[in-house]
Amino acid sequence: MKKIFFTPGPSQLYPTVEKHLKYALEKQLFSISHRSVDFQNIYNETVSNIKKLFTVPKDHSVFFLSSATEAMERIIENGVEKKSFHLVNGAFSSKFFQISQDLKKQPEKFEVEAGKGFDVNSINITKNTEVICITHNETSTGVAVPVDDIYSLKKRHPDSFIGVDIVSSAPYVTIDAAKIDYLFFSVQKGFGMPSGLGVLIVSPIAMEKSIYLAKKGTNIGSYHNFLQLEKYALKSQTPMTPNVLGIYLLGKVSGDMLKKGLKTIRKETEEKAGMVYRLAENHELLSPFVADKNNRSKTVIVINVKGGSEVLIKKLKEKGIVVGKGYKQFKEEHIRIANFPTHSTSQMAKLVKLLF
Ligand SMILES: *Cc1c(COP(=O)(O)O)cnc(C)c1O
């Protein structure tokens, strides 16, 4: 029996991945040189579709990395001399903070309990903060930060750059890339692709900061610093042999998503999320982990299971449905349900029916 993966990453492959993969194999695309015109064409198609999908201004750079975790490291290296500030409410936002610490910066954080959102207007951010780091959708707990709160932080701190992790909310999230200095995601979540590719979008002033730090003698990294990435991006290439499979598939899958239309994708996402939350709210044994509706993620739905989640996870697996376990300390209490564009309404209805 073929399973359906509702896991929050890797997740179910987007339905068109198989077709694109077969075509690429037939055309031997994974043997071409990464310095060839054929590769440059693939690169350009992907960058162009990403720019359309996220309405990225012309002067922003799009870089390909190996993962979202790498994007966090590159942002700190290339944007922070001393101080980053982190909004922490779970494992991934915490990792961003940790990376800054590991790179010997002096990060600060504002931390709230797992499952809670932020009252952004009450957060005191140190004046000399260089980058404010925000995880839009905290995959470990199912909390999403309202995008207006992100804009409002930027407004209150115009001299700090804003870095936003949209790994598990892209491409559903509506966020104005022009207002964000570093926007990043990896592809094994909302894009329904094999893992191993990260995408980082960088604003022109954030590029300047990297140049400034390099001139000053700060360590901004080596082959994947922004200067190297930009130098090759201008030639529609990457500094090293990249994940050609990932770059190719991302171009195709984002093209398919553009054809389907973000409006439709968003509408379907909200309908499916509504089905799951409604069930959880009215169920004897299930309840949404995130109490405040304004902070509930539409793309990663975390549900508390009275009496433990293990039996339920097993039962669903027997029916061919794989949901995520709770993250770390919630492993035995929660289930996490990914609600990505790859998950059709009828698949979600099947899951809801089994949970009922
Ligand atoms: C999965 C995830 C990451 C890490 O992604 P990798 O591609 O494994 O580095 C970072 N942030 C969030 C919010 C995630 O869900």
The pairs formed by 38-43 with CB atoms below 8 angstroms and a separation of 24 or more are 39/236, 39/237, 39/244, 40/235, 40/236, 40/237, 42/244, 42/247, 42/248, 42/251, 43/236, 43/237, 43/238, 43/247
Q: Ligand 1 test: best mutation among 70, 93, 186, 337, most atoms within 8 Å of CB?
A: 186
Confidence of residue 120 (pLDDT cuts 50, 70, 90): very high
Question: Is any atom of ligand 1 closer than 6 Å to the C-beta of 16?
Answer: no
**Distance from the CA of 288 to the center of ligand 1, in angstroms?**
22
Chain segment 233-248, per-residue pLDDT in tens: 999 999 999 999 999 9
Question: Is any atom of ligand 1 closer than 6 Å to the C-beta of 269?
Answer: no
- Length of the chain (residues): 356
Query: Considering Cα of 140, then 144, then 150, then 153, what sign does the dihedral take?
Result: negative
Is residue 157 within 8 A of residue 132, CB to CB? The reply is yes
**Distance from the CA of 208 to the center of ligand 1, in angstroms?**
26
Average pLDDT over every residue of 297-322:
97
User: Ligand 1: which atom is nearest the Cα of residue 69?
Assistant: 9
Is residue 249 within 8 A of residue 16, CB to CB? The reply is no
Residue-level pLDDT at 344: 98
Tokens 């207002």 locate to 179
Cα(228)–Cα(207) distance, integer angstroms: 11
Question: Is any atom of ligand 1 closer than 6 Å to the C-beta of 139?
Answer: yes
**Distance from the CA of 42 to the center of ligand 1, in angstroms?**
25
Pick left, alpha or beta for residue 272 (phi over 0 → left; psi -120 to 50 → alpha; otherwise beta).
alpha
For residue 58, how far is the Cα from the chain centroid?
A: 22
User: Ligand 1: which atom is nearest the Cα of residue 166?
Assistant: 13
Residue-level pLDDT at 1: 84
Mean pLDDT of the chain: 97
Peptide bond preceding 288: is omega within 30 degrees of 0, i.e. cis?
no
Q: Of all protein residues, whose CA lies closest to atom 3 belonging to ligand 1?
A: 68
- Residue 80, φ and ψ in degrees, nearest 5: -125, 120
Confidence of residue 356 (pLDDT cuts 50, 70, 90): confident
**Distance from the CA of 140 to the center of ligand 1, in angstroms?**
10
User: Ligand 1: which atom is nearest the Cα of residue 71?
Assistant: 9
Question: Is any atom of ligand 1 closer than 6 Å to the C-beta of 165?
Answer: yes
Is residue 211 within 8 A of residue 227, CB to CB? The reply is yes
Question: Is any atom of ligand 1 closer than 6 Å to the C-beta of 11?
Answer: no
Predicted confidence (pLDDT) at residue 84 exceeds the cutoff of 90: yes
Question: Is any atom of ligand 1 closer than 6 Å to the C-beta of 247?
Answer: no
- Cβ atoms within 10 Å of 136's Cβ, excluding its own: 26
User: Ligand 1: which atom is nearest the Cα of residue 68?
Assistant: 9
Average pLDDT over every residue of 211-221:
98
Question: Is any atom of ligand 1 closer than 6 Å to the C-beta of 140?
Answer: no
**Distance from the CA of 38 to the center of ligand 1, in angstroms?**
30
Q: Ligand 1 test: best mutation among 7, 75, 92, most atoms within 8 Å of CB?
A: 92
For residue 335, how far is the Cα from the chain centroid?
A: 20
Tokens 């994974």 locate to 30
Average pLDDT over every residue of 317-327:
97
Instruction: List the structure tokens of 210.
Output: 């990297």
* Predicted model pTM: 0.98
Question: Is any atom of ligand 1 closer than 6 Å to the C-beta of 169?
Answer: no
Q: Are strands 198-202 and 182-186 parallel, antiparallel or unpaired?
A: antiparallel
Confidence of residue 199 (pLDDT cuts 50, 70, 90): very high
Chain segment 138-167, per-residue pLDDT in tens: 999 999 999 999 999 999 999 999 999 999
Confidence of residue 201 (pLDDT cuts 50, 70, 90): very high
Query: Considering Cα of 237, then 242, then 245, then 250, what sign does the dihedral take?
Result: negative
Question: Is any atom of ligand 1 closer than 6 Å to the C-beta of 67?
Answer: yes
Burial letters for 297-329: b for 16+ Cβ neighbours within 10 Å, e otherwise? bbbbbbbbbeeebeebbeebeeeebbbbbbbee
Q: Ligand 1 test: best mutation among 70, 165, 301, most atoms within 8 Å of CB?
A: 165
Q: Are strands 84-88 and 131-135 parallel, antiparallel or unpaired?
A: parallel
